[in-house]
Structure 1
Amino acid sequence: MAIILLLVVLTAPSLTHALTRPGSDSVAARLAEWGRDHELGPVVTWLEARQYDLHQPPTGGAPPGGIPLAAGAEPDRPGARPAPPDLPPPGGLSPLPGEGRWQTVVATPHGDAVRIASVRPDAQHTSFVVGVIWMDPALVRGVLHPGTVDPGGHWSTPTSVDAAEQRSVVTAFSAGFRLQGDSHGGWYSEGREARRLVPGAASLVIRRDGTTDVGTWGATPTTGEVHMTPDVTSVRQNLVPLVDDGAVNPTCATGGTAEWGSTVGQAAYIHRSAFGVTPTGAMIYVGGPALSVCTLGDLLRSAGAVRGMELDINPAWVSGVYFHPDGRPHPDAFRLFPDEQIGTQHYLQTSSRDFLSFDLRSPADVAASPAARRHPVSGPPQQRGRARPPGS
């Protein structure tokens, strides 16, 4: 008993800090992260696995209410990049009304900046819906945000979508696994490594012009699909490539912790997310429930990605949010999929974990957006756009 009391006394300050730090993380998420930071990672993983065993997602059935219409859909404004082909239903199923159909949620005078689609995860878990985001790289630019815990430290880029960026933000979503070892990769931004970059790791790269790419990290162009160059501003690594050359990694079904991390396992059907790029540079995000690593990869590939990587897992972290930028702080925000457990304001607050956001490139596009026309902004035009992220 004395040993237990001593442990409680020694850990109470750090546990209190974890439970009271700024942000909207749930109590369960805070406790799990605290455990992983205090050598209890195997215990947390074991508990998550037992919870999954007791609460596996049901099979069969149909999504309650059918495939949802996109909240905040806007009129289509085709531009240089046409809409991608509709997503096929999984496993040869007949499509439900609206399934896989792209809907515009952020339109600009130069074309549709953001489209979303909804589809069932596979032919067994047919009562669930996964959300897919498509973004035009000519109209949006990416930002990698640090978290107060992951990676921690001091950065110029804020740990939230702050008031300046809220004027032009269009999407935000969680990044990869924890950086203390679970991700098997590194983190780079603002000219320094918070965690060492790992050769061969799946890497999301943001360049000085705001374009985003995904590929295998290498020291030189001949040793990887992406590598360090003067125009690289941010790198987020996580696990191994999920999709490469248009094919899903075959280890999605057979790999272990070396490929897919110390989690409940690649075959568990849980909340997962992924990010990839198409041959034309368009960016794809997939997030939703009841996904294995393989079915996540299948959806990313079917959405057009030729290279892609898994991001985060579990309901406490997987979320995709899209916004209607109108040149003002606090834009209208919408969740990507019905089973999302994280609020739409999550990324507008201080975040403990790193995340990605994407913004309209042009202040003129913000000023001419449907949302801005509904909510006119007073003041000179130069005050309406967001400041460029560091290094741009």
Structure 2
Amino acid sequence: MITWLEQRQYDLHPPPTGGVPPGGIPAAAGPEPNRPGGQPAPAPLAPPAGLSPLPGEGRWQTVVSTPHGDAVRMTSVRPDLAHTSFVVGVLWLDPTLVRGVLHPGTQDPGGQWATPTSVDPAEQRSVVTAFSAGFRLQGDSHGGWYSENREVRPLVPGAASLLIRRDGTVDVGAWGSEVGMAPDVASVRQNLVPLIDHGTVNPTCATGGTAQWGSTVGQAAYIHRSGFGITPTGAMVYVGGPALSVCTLGDLLRSAGVIRGMELDINPAWVSGAYFHPDGTSRPKAFKLFPDEQIGAQHYLQTSTRDFVSFDLRSTADATASPRGPHHLPPPPRAFDPGRVTTRPPG
């Protein structure tokens, strides 16, 4: 019934096309100066094919810098050639400077955990970003959930999986073939099927059903969506914003350099990315990623009913040595069949 109502509302009020973003491409809130060290900045993101870039569009801005380099960069782009009045936010995270944490929610997955259901005061001293993890676990995600040596939902072979190791490094891939259980695995969050593999957008992004891309008004609807993936160097990319189809979400991830990626959440009430300025104290300054974000930037600093992922600054010892290396390189090419779905040039 909820899905039907969402579909009817979408049919009556689809996102408008044409126009320009009010005020243009927004500058990053809370920019910080660039510092040497860490991984170099990625290439600027190209605007949608057929559009000339607006001032500032696709240009990376540092929003969290450390003495060892820039930990978090962000940029804003328009989602596609038609929905040109909307802005999507993109976060880039340096794996040598940050570490990931999967937080449980009080309802998803529920239960008792050592990891808090919020970015608590202790973590607030080092947190740099947080975002919603994925669909509800009661069937909608079509995947499992694992943390603290407990498998709350069985991990599903082939499902798109966000894996966090005990050293805080993160990987994404199909469960059982690209990522899998090992002694150093701390947490696994599965959601739907892989959206990007070997740098190619899954061609079923335009045709798949609810088991692939979710039930909210269909995979071709242009709605709030989010996604996450890794690049060949292990850098992590989060995309969140309005007026995205599954294909355009995948295309944005790919254009940011992602080689393996997955869809996370759908729905304006849950698609949210926040970044923070940690200063060693609680209640850091918090910033929303994109203008149409409906959840406040302080959301993850309080108890959450849904699970989410946060990233914290590594210790000084961790930050001076790359935490991982060769495992981030993609395996030998095995492209999706049949073919490739792209509308943006890489980088």
- What TM-score do you get using the length of structure 1 for normalisation? 0.80
Measure how far apart 1:80 and its partner are. Answer: 3.3
* CA distance 1:270–1:311, shift in 2 (3 Å): same
1:211 aligned residue (166, 169, 172): 169
2:4 aligned residue (46, 63, 66): 46
Which letter does structure 1 place at the counterpart of 2:195?
L
Residue 155 of structure 1 is matched in structure 2 by 113
2:236 aligned residue (265, 283, 286): 283
In 1, Cα distance between the equivalents of 2:79 and 2:143? Answer: 27
**Cα-to-partner distance string for 1:118-152 (whole Å, 9 max, x where unaligned):** 00000000000000000000000000000001001
Measure how far apart 1:216 and its partner are. Answer: 0.2
**Cα-to-partner distance string for 1:173-214 (whole Å, 9 max, x where unaligned):** 001101000000000000011111000000000001100000
Q: Higher mean Cα deviation, 259-268 or 186-195?
A: 259-268
- SS class of match (1:143): strand
Which letter does structure 2 place at the counterpart of 1:131?
G
Alpha carbon RMSD of aligned pairs, Å?
Answer: 1.2
- SS class of match (1:90): coil
Residue 69 of structure 2 is matched in structure 1 by 111
1:55 aligned residue (6, 13, 25): 13
**Is 1:322 the equivalent of 2:275?**
yes
Residues 272, 311 of structure 1: 8 Å contact kept:
yes
Measure how far apart 1:261 and its partner are. Answer: 2.1
- SS class of match (1:50): helix
**Is 1:179 the equivalent of 2:137?**
yes
**Cα-to-partner distance string for 1:93-114 (whole Å, 9 max, x where unaligned):** 1000000000000001111000
Which letter does structure 2 place at the counterpart of 1:56?
P
Residues 38, 97 of structure 2: 8 Å contact kept:
no
Which letter does structure 2 place at the counterpart of 1:165?
E
Measure how far apart 1:365 and its partner are. Answer: 10
Residue 147 of structure 2 is matched in structure 1 by 189
**Cα-to-partner distance string for 1:68-97 (whole Å, 9 max, x where unaligned):** 000100111131311000000012310000
Larger radius of gyration: 1
**Is 1:337 the equivalent of 2:290?**
yes
Residue 333 of structure 2 is matched in structure 1 by none
In 1, Cα distance between the equivalents of 2:302 and 2:38? Answer: 34
Residues 213-232 of structure 1 aligned to structure 2 (within 5 Å): 213-218=171-176, 224-232=177-185
- SS class of match (1:53): helix
Which letter does structure 1 place at the counterpart of 2:46?
P
Following superposition, which runs of at least 4 residues in structure 1 exceed 6 angstroms of deviation? Answer: none
**Is 1:248 the equivalent of 2:206?**
no
Greater helix content:
1
Measure how far apart 1:260 and its partner are. Answer: 1.1
In 2, Cα distance between the equivalents of 1:331 and 1:169? Answer: 8
Segments of 5+ residues of structure 2 without an aligned counterpart are 320-347
Residue 29 of structure 2 is matched in structure 1 by 71
Residues 5-44 of structure 1 aligned to structure 2 (within 5 Å): 43-44=1-2
Which letter does structure 1 place at the counterpart of 2:199?
G
* CA distance 1:87–1:198, shift in 2 (3 Å): same
2:213 aligned residue (260, 263, 267): 260
Segments of 5+ residues of structure 1 without an aligned counterpart are 1-42, 219-223, 367-392
Measure how far apart 1:363 and its partner are. Answer: 5.8
Residues 108, 365 of structure 1: 8 Å contact kept:
no
- SS class of match (2:49): helix
Q: Higher mean Cα deviation, 46-55 or 188-197?
A: 46-55
Measure how far apart 1:258 and its partner are. Answer: 2.1
* CA distance 1:185–1:325, shift in 2 (3 Å): same
In 2, Cα distance between the equivalents of 1:172 and 1:59? Answer: 30
Which letter does structure 2 place at the counterpart of 1:51?
Q
1:81 aligned residue (27, 34, 39): 39
In 2, Cα distance between the equivalents of 1:158 and 1:111? Answer: 29
2:300 aligned residue (309, 331, 347): 347
- SS class of match (2:195): strand
Measure how far apart 1:364 and its partner are. Answer: 8.4
In 2, Cα distance between the equivalents of 1:266 and 1:140? Answer: 32
Q: What count of residue pairs does the alignment treat as equivalent?
A: 319
Which letter does structure 2 place at the counterpart of 1:267?
A
Measure how far apart 1:156 and its partner are. Answer: 0.5
Residues 289-308 of structure 1 aligned to structure 2 (within 5 Å): 289-308=242-261
Residue 97 of structure 1 is matched in structure 2 by 55
Residue 18 of structure 1 is matched in structure 2 by none
* CA distance 1:364–1:228, shift in 2 (3 Å): closer
- SS class of match (2:4): helix
In 1, Cα distance between the equivalents of 2:318 and 2:178? Answer: 32
In 1, Cα distance between the equivalents of 2:67 and 2:105? Answer: 34
In 2, Cα distance between the equivalents of 1:122 and 1:262? Answer: 22
Q: Higher mean Cα deviation, 357-366 or 338-347?
A: 357-366
Residue 132 of structure 1 is matched in structure 2 by 90
- SS class of match (2:152): strand
Residue 327 of structure 2 is matched in structure 1 by none
Residue 378 of structure 1 is matched in structure 2 by none
In 1, Cα distance between the equivalents of 2:274 and 2:318? Answer: 20
